[in-house]
């Protein structure tokens, strides 16, 4: 039986709003969202989508169900859906494995796990998808990918790599913010005012990242070397980074993040 809504969303928080803001290939009237918060409901209403407090209304009447709640909230959500036959689930819940979702919901639905990151909120996100449950249906895969293509770039990976994805792109924006903050403070220590240092730091990071994207014929190592000249200024900073084991420091930080993601996945 054809469902009333193309997409149903349980959870209307920040990331759900970011995703819905980017979807322009589904008419708002074909989307329904549930959230108990009046403030969230008000923000969702501005997007033109249907809003409710009732999770069952959402799950029972949509073709695809997007779970956009915090992992610790999921057991209560699953209980609210007891007996509702859900067929296709898209989950952005960090650390919650597909089998856990299937076991908690009625009739073991097909599940896509998604790991988006914060820049999705401005259309420059990085999202990893495990589409293995949908791989036999081209239309299902295309629909899910199109949702997240609208808010950034998409990479398809198997579920067992999603914890590593968390360590690089899911949590990665925080690492970039820390680096930018360090550059700003270093610039101020060298006599720049805060706005000058911020402008220089932010635009340098954005420009450097764009060059990596477009320089397909060069390795990162070659690009570093292209900025450095023997006896010049850049090599002094690069050598300092190497003495402080910058690469090892980053590796240890990512490993700690991934370890915590694995711990959460086992809970």
The residue among 167, 135, 191, 162 whose CA lies nearest residue 251 is: 167
The mean pLDDT of 234-263, rounded to a whole number, is 96
Which residues are CB-contacts of 138 (< 8 A; sequence separation ≥ 6)? none
Pick the closest to residue 224 from 209, 238, 213 (CA basis). Answer: 238
* Residue ranges, CATH 1.10.3730.10, the chain: 170-266
pLDDT at 235 over 90: yes
How far apart (Å, rounded) are the C-alpha atoms in residues 43 and 58?
18
Q: What is the CA radius of gyration of the chain?
A: 22
Tokens of residue 76, six digits: 């209560």
pLDDT at 170 over 80: yes
Task: Please tell me the distance from the alpha carbon of residue 215 to that of residue 212, in angstroms, as a whole number.
Answer: 5
- For 5-162, which CATH class? alpha beta
Q: Is the pLDDT of residue 30 over 90?
A: yes
Q: What is the pLDDT of residue 107?
A: 86
Q: What is the C-alpha to C-alpha distance for residues 264 and 267, in angstroms, rounded to an integer?
A: 5
Q: What is the pLDDT of residues 80-117, one digit of tens each?
A: 999 999 999 999 999 899 999 999 998 899 999 999 99
Average pLDDT for 50-55? 96
* Rounded mean pLDDT, 49-63: 96
Question: pLDDT per residue over 178-195, tens digit each?
Answer: 999 999 999 999 999 999
pLDDT at 168: 97
- The CATH 3.40.50.720 domain(s) of the chain lie at 5-162
pLDDT band at 221 (very low <50, low <70, confident <90, very high): very high
Q: Is the pLDDT confidence value at 4 over 90?
A: yes
Rounded Cα–Cα distance for residues 106 and 207 (Å) = 48
Residue 102's closest CA among 128, 132, 140, 126?
Answer: 132
Confidence (pLDDT) at 252? 98
The CATH number of 170-266 is 1.10.3730.10
Longest Cα pair distance anywhere in the chain, in angstroms? 72
In the predicted model, what is the mean pLDDT of residues 214-232? 92
Q: Which two tokens stand for residue 77?
A: 């959500």
Pairing relationship of beta strands 110-115 and 125-130 according to DSSP bridges: antiparallel
What's the rounded mean pLDDT across residues 107-131? Answer: 95
Of the pLDDT bands very low, low, confident and very high (cuts 50, 70, 90), residue 149 is very high
CA distance 109 to 65: 10
Mean pLDDT of the chain: 95
For position 265, what pLDDT does the model report? 84
**Is pLDDT larger for residue 266 or for residue 245?**
245
pTM over cut 0.85: yes
**Cα 42 → chain centroid:** 24
CB-based contacts of 24, cutoff 8 Å, min separation 6: 150
Predicted confidence at residue 2, as pLDDT, reads 83
Instruction: Give the burial class of 247: count Cβ atoms within 10 A of its Cβ; 0-12 exposed, 13-18 middle, 19 or more buried.
Output: exposed
| Residue 266 banded pLDDT, cuts 50, 70, 90 | confident
List phi, psi (to 5°) of 171: -95, -15
């Amino acid at each position: 039986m054809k469902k009333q809504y193309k997409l149903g969303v349980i959870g209307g928080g920040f990331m759900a709003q970011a995703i819905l803001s980017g979807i322009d290939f589904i008419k708002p009237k074909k989307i329904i969202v549930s959230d108990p918060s009046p403030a969230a409901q008000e923000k969702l209403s501005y997007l033109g989508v249907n809003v409710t407090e009732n999770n069952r209304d959402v799950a029972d009447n949509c073709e695809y169900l997007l779970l956009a709640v915090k992992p610790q909230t999921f057991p209560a959500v699953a209980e609210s859906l007891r007996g509702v036959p859900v067929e296709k689930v898209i989950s952005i819940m960090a650390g919650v494995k597909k089998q856990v979702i299937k076991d908690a919901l009625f009739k073991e639905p097909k599940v896509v796990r998604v790991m988006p990151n914060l820049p999705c909120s401005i259309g420059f996100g990085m999202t990893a998808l495990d589409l293995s449950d949908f791989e036999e249906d081209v239309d299902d895969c295309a629909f899910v990918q199109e949702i997240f293509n609208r808010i950034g770039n998409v990479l398809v990976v198997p579920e067992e790599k999603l914890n590593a994805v968390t360590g690089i792109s899911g949590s990665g924006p925080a690492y970039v913010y820390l680096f930018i903050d360090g550059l700003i403070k270093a610039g101020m220590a060298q006599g720049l005012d805060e706005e000058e240092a911020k402008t220089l730091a932010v635009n340098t990071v954005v420009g450097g990242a764009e060059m990596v994207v477009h320089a397909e014929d060069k390795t990162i190592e070659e690009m570093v070397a292209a900025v450095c000249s023997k006896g010049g200024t850049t090599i002094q900073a690069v050598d300092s980074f190497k003495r402080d084991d910058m690469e090892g420091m980053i590796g240890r930080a990512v490993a700690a993040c991934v370890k915590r993601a694995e711990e959460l996945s086992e809970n």
